[in-house]
Amino acid sequence: MSKWDPSGHPAYLLGRAARLFERRAHERLKKLGLSNAHIPVLRALRDGNAMSQTALAAVARTEQPTMAQMLARMERDKLVQRVPNPADGRSSLYSLTKSTLAKVGDAQKILEKGGLELLAPLSASEHAALTTILGKIVAHMDELD
């Protein structure tokens, strides 16, 4: 039983905490017509930049087809627009629509609120420890690839 009870193990808690957190953010972003997955795109394009699909996939750390489909949905929903890349006939450059640009500030507030909520039960030293520890874990996992 104890060997199979994962409820106290970091590997279990990590996934559970992440999912709980993401659900809350998702719920709030939905009211803006956005979702968690849009955030890396908003961040990359919030200054009016235009980027290719491949570049966006890289910053979002997803595979290209994942980004392709998401951009297609975002375009369908008028969150982004694309223009042909003048320097490369294969690619398009994506940018945020005006209405999306107008939402960026609200989205940021939602994320900040979520961040505060996440850290609310922690002391200052726990907050620092969490950052350090997760940083080490991410670095280690990246290294294993």
Cβ–Cβ under 8 Å, residues 74 and 41: yes
State the amino acid at position 136 in one-letter form. K
Span 39-98, contacts to a copy of itself by CB under 8 A:
43, 46, 61
- 73 interacts with, out of DNA, a copy of itself, none, CB within 5 to 8 A per kind: DNA
Which of a copy of itself, DNA, none interacts with 100 (beta carbon under 5 to 8 A by kind)? none
Which region among 5-13, 82-90, 95-103, 130-138 touches DNA (by CB under 7 A)?
82-90
Closest CB 117 distance from a copy of itself, rounded Å: 7
Size of the site for a copy of itself (CB under 8 A): 48
| Angle between helix 10-30 and 104-119 (nearest 10) | 150
Is residue 141 within 8 A of residue 59, CB to CB? The reply is no
Place of tokens 């350090």: 132
Of 36, 81, 95, 108, the one binding DNA by CB under 7 A: 36
Total residues interacting with DNA, rule: CB under 7 A: 28
127 in contact with a copy of itself (CB under 8 A): yes
52's contact among DNA, a copy of itself, none, with CB below 5 to 8 A by partner kind, is DNA
Contacts of 46 (CB under 8 A, 6+ apart): 96, 101, 104
Least CB distance to DNA at residue 52 (A): 4
Provide CB contacts within 8 A for 100, sequence distance 6+.
Answer: 42, 78, 79, 80
At residue 2, φ and ψ (nearest 5 deg) are -65, -35
Three-class DSSP category at 105: helix
Say which entry of DNA, a copy of itself, none residue 95 contacts (CB below 5 to 8 A, set by partner kind).
none
